Structure 1
Amino acid sequence: MKIQTIITADDHPLLLKGLNDFLLEKEYNIIGSAHNGMDAYNLIAKEKPSIAILDIQMPYMSGIEIANKCKENNIDTKIVLITLHKEKELYLKAQELNIFGYVLKEFALEEIENCINTVTNGEKYFSPKIKELLDGTLFTDSRLNELTPSEKKILKLIAEDKTNKEIASLLFISHRTVEKHRSNIISKLNLKPKTNSLLIWAKENHDKMF
């Protein structure tokens, strides 16, 4: 039997039963379950479980609100959120609240065991699936996805302070083709066509892009 104590909460009875059945089959120590946010928080406050696996959207209190209240009241339970939502705001809020796990509901049974084991070791687990979805959009919108592979390659070289001539030489294309790509990139990123606007943007976002 796993030594970690766990409570679960979801307002969808079938989803909650499916999660509980899976965890019990894996011999995790579930000490309680709730069908709404208020009951979930009261259960956490009373039982002080090691881990609370919560649906992010529930009646009375959301998973985020529960995490916030636990933080305010110095409850050490590690919060894991299971969600259908892929919005970057919720993801960033979860990180801000020191939430230990963030798993997409569609991959929950596939990832939850790995998540619990990671959290048990004191490390955070954020679903690789949501990281993949958000990595390209956390710092900008879908404009970056509109760039062609060639334009992204040129943008990377611009961020590395390469001149048009150097880029042309490295990619075996003409100077004029580089200029055309630059113009297209500026247009797609909706930048002002002033001197160095593209260089500044590329440098500011280099670490997040590549």
Structure 2
Amino acid sequence: MITLYLAEDQELLNTAMQQLLNLEDDMKVVGSATDGRQAWQEIQAVKPDIAILDIEMPYQSGLTVAAKMKNEALPTRAIILTTFAQRTYFNQAVKADVAAYLLKDSPTDELVAVIRRVQTGEVIYAPELVRNMVTEENNPLTDREMDILKWVAQGASNKKIAAELYLSDGTVRNYLSAIFSKLGIHSRTEAINLAQQNKWLV
């Protein structure tokens, strides 16, 4: 059972999302809040598998809550919901290591699918939120993701990368998924081209 915490300041939407997510056989909403301060207090206590956080909430934003989750090393992974593609929000989401970054008006079945993928360790950023955000100065990849990308640029297979970096094949696949999501692309070739274009591989 995937335990979920929902923080959304619009009460009607909050209630509707709870009801829809609780219909899934493998999911359970274990708490909810309409402001960031309450959300942070309860997430620390409940430690759900995943916290679904709206960005703009009273007292604390969803991104602030996500950053606190990272700083306190909570086991909870964050899914951020947003209405607009803003570079500041994108940068904060990357720094907070959020597991997914989605548009608030995404279909419910898409959110459900993302929740299940996040629970397996994937990182998912909606391409429409990422496009035009990635530049030479704005590299959203972590040092480890850049290590993976450098091996990809050399033509290394997942198995080769795993052996060189002392990782499992599955972990390498998850890193590649995160790289593709953060860059808004779908293939190794696109990743290499974008990295070269932005001079990240120098």
Q: TM-score, normalised by structure 2?
A: 0.64
Q: Does 1:139 align with 2:135?
A: yes
In the TM superposition, 1:190-201 aligns within 5 A as none
> Take 2:107 and 2:84, find their aligned partners in 1: how far apart are those partners?
13
Report what 1:97 is aligned to. 96
> Take 1:98 and 1:108, find their aligned partners in 2: how far apart are those partners?
23
Q: How many residues align?
A: 142
> Take 2:93 and 2:197, find their aligned partners in 1: how far apart are those partners?
23
CA RMSD in angstroms comes to 2.3
> Take 2:127 and 2:110, find their aligned partners in 1: how far apart are those partners?
9
> Take 2:123 and 2:103, find their aligned partners in 1: how far apart are those partners?
15
Q: How much does 1:137 deviate?
A: 4.7
Q: Does the Cα contact within 8 Å between 2:67 and 2:95 map onto a contact in 1? A: no
The SS at the match of 2:105 is helix
Q: Does the Cα contact within 8 Å between 1:82 and 1:108 map onto a contact in 2? A: no
Q: Greater CA radius of gyration, 1 or 2?
A: 1
Report what 1:10 is aligned to. 8
Gaps in structure 2 of 5+ consecutive residues: 137-194
Write the deviation string for residues 49-76 of structure 1: whole angstroms up to 9, x where unpaired: 1100011110011011111111222212
Greater RCO, CA 8 A, separation 6+:
2
> Take 1:40 and 1:76, find their aligned partners in 2: how far apart are those partners?
15
| Deviating 4+ runs (over 6 angstroms) | none
Of 28-37 and 68-77, more deviation after overlay is shown by: 68-77
Identity of counterpart residues, as a percentage?
A: 28
Gaps in structure 1 of 5+ consecutive residues: 141-202
Report what 2:181 is aligned to. none
